[in-house]
Structure 1
């Protein structure tokens, strides 16, 4: 089978011919139909994410994908061959950008009939980060004001919709074509961060979902009301600075919520949230997708498809 892999940090990804993986008793073999890229994939390729995920080479890229179950391990009772599934592989093993991938059954959920494989593949990391950043970590409540940074990216697009559905007033930062996109998804106010200083526009925010870090994070504390919360997915907040502003600040890592993937997938399917695609390319054009992800300019998810 074909598998997109890297053989070292900062080396080009290549298509290798490898054997179809065997499966353990608790695993399923999935014929991959669509895979989504994430910033983490770029971090793993570049090496800066190695301190969190000490991958081994050759490394098969891809954690988020959807496809059809081909075989199940002897201990698997939750799936059977022919089931359409969404899978969220461990970053240490990857394997999503391959024709077939072996993953633990617990890493998969059924793909709802209302979603395509492309839509399903877009959900695991981005949708779960948005969902748990707002609800499990941010404790969002109806009527609160929420500020979503990088609102037109993969996570931000889900976050704007989830927050609006939860009854929040949604503020957002983005730029260019992302402005109209984010407004169409329900944002009440949008700041073009390249033209305006959001810290001069927004005030009395209950919750900031920080998907950027750095200066954006540090300038977010003053926009929060006392007792407000900041949840970052990118870098540890300065607790002392947060305390000085009378707010709380935490960093979240979404993978511990992997066992609740079904909750997020069902919400997207049942509540009609939009899965916004930036780019969808065939398997052979994977380098175009990787470069688009590396650019940081994507408006929505970047998908690689297989026939």
Structure 2
């Protein structure tokens, strides 16, 4: 048998891995040092270049999270920042500009949302960002980029707490502190979706809204001590801790023997493991995992209407300092988002 030699077939079509050559520089909000919100300022920064299986994304909107403000102030992840100026931000929604190869699951032009590996890379307060393939998902079609940017870190944290750690199920009794915040409003919805009986703490102005999200009972923390009205719960998701109150310590007293206490804010309850053991309950901290597959599941829940994201305020990128100041006031309902570029 004789084989014919293989011949290459030339093509004149452009590569599918890139929409257009990105510019050399981009607009970004950076910090040159840690400090108050005013250290955030706009600057020109080099556009990052993806390597291996990373995506280059044009950022349309960036979500703001408490960890951003803590890091900016000198706490949080500030010790891991390799150098300045630094671009903050984990959450983004945008459009893929460059993907690793033509048949990649997220080709150029795909609308995506996800989490950046800040501070290992630059953050999302910029017009372009580099992100690992496994940390993104297709943007829910029912959401704008501004809405989608408010989802990733908060919703993935809530998913990890409610679904993967607490294993929410029918009839489970769950107390969620700070239910109206970014993580809290997702946690309330997910717990209710999976059948748990949800009690949430929040302010009086958010009580009716929290009930709409799925909380059966809402406790106004400004006027009522939660331990006076709730007891023998299976799980407490503590998004407050002991930093500004004794919420964590008091929570241990309302959990049934062998129940679960999950504390989320870093360093908010020193000695929580020992205190939980003494109270006869199980305990764990939690760190969010930037899992694109879990985020895709969250996206389907959003598109189906089973859960929703609430964006409280939207600021332009140059107003990042004002956005941080508002976040630190501590009365935000849902999420704060930066509008970075045109849709």
TM-score band w.r.t. shorter chain:
over 0.9
Alignment correspondent of 2:205? 177
Larger displacement relative to structure 2 (285-294 or 156-165): 285-294
- Higher Cα radius of gyration: 2
Q: Select the residue among 254, 262, 275 that pairs with 1:241.
A: 275
Matched residue, 1:50: 77
Moved more, 159-168 or 175-184: 175-184
Question: In terms of mean alpha carbon deviation, does 1-10 or 174-183 score higher?
Answer: 174-183
Displacement of 1:74 in angstroms is 4.3
Match of 2:185 in 1: 157
1:61 aligns with 2:96: no
Residue 2 of structure 1: aligned partner? 27
CA distance in 1, matches of 2:300, 2:310: 17
Q: Distance in 1 between matches of 2:73 and 2:132?
A: 27
> How many Å apart are 1:52 and its aligned residue?
6.7
**Structure 1: stretches of 5+ with no match in the other structure:** none
- Determine if contact 1:222/1:245 at 8 Å carries over to the other structure: yes
Say which SS state the counterpart of residue 220 (structure 1) adopts. Answer: helix
The aligned counterpart of 2:50 is 23
**In the alignment, structure 1 residue 267 sits paired with structure 2 residue 295:** no
Distance 1:109 1:176, change over 3 A: same
Q: Is the 8 A contact 2:72 2:78 kept in 1?
A: no
Two-structure CA RMSD over aligned residues (Å)? 1.9
Q: 2:254 aligns with which of 220, 223, 242?
A: 223
The structure 1 residue matched to 2:324, chosen from 290, 293, 301, is 290
Indicate conservation of the 8 Å contact 1:138/1:230, yes or no.
no
Unaligned runs of 5+ in 2: 1-25
Q: 1:302 to 1:82 in 2, by over 3 A?
A: same
Cα deviation digits, residues 107-157 of structure 1 (max 9, x gap) = 211112122212211111100111110111112221011100000100000
Q: Cα gap change, 1:83/1:297 in structure 2, threshold over 3 Å: closer, same or farther? A: same
| 1:82 corresponding residue in structure 2 | 109
Change (3 A) 1:106 1:257: closer
Q: Is the 8 A contact 2:258 2:280 kept in 1?
A: yes
Distance across 1 between alignment mates of 2:207 and 2:46: 45
2:27–2:42 CA contact under 8 A, matched in 1: yes
Aligned mates of 2:294, 2:224 — CA distance in 1? 38
Q: Which of 50, 58, 62 pairs up with 1:35?
A: 62
Quote how far apart the aligned CAs of 1:55 are: 4.3
Of 165-174 and 85-94, deviating more is: 85-94
Alignment equivalent of 2:241, drawn from 213, 237, 249: 213
Count of residue pairs brought into register by the alignment: 307
| Cα distance change of structure 1 residues 220 and 275 upon mapping to structure 2, 3 Å threshold | same
In the TM superposition, what are the counterparts of 1:124-163 in structure 2 within 5 Å?
Answer: 124-163=152-191
* Local SS of the residue matching 1:24: coil
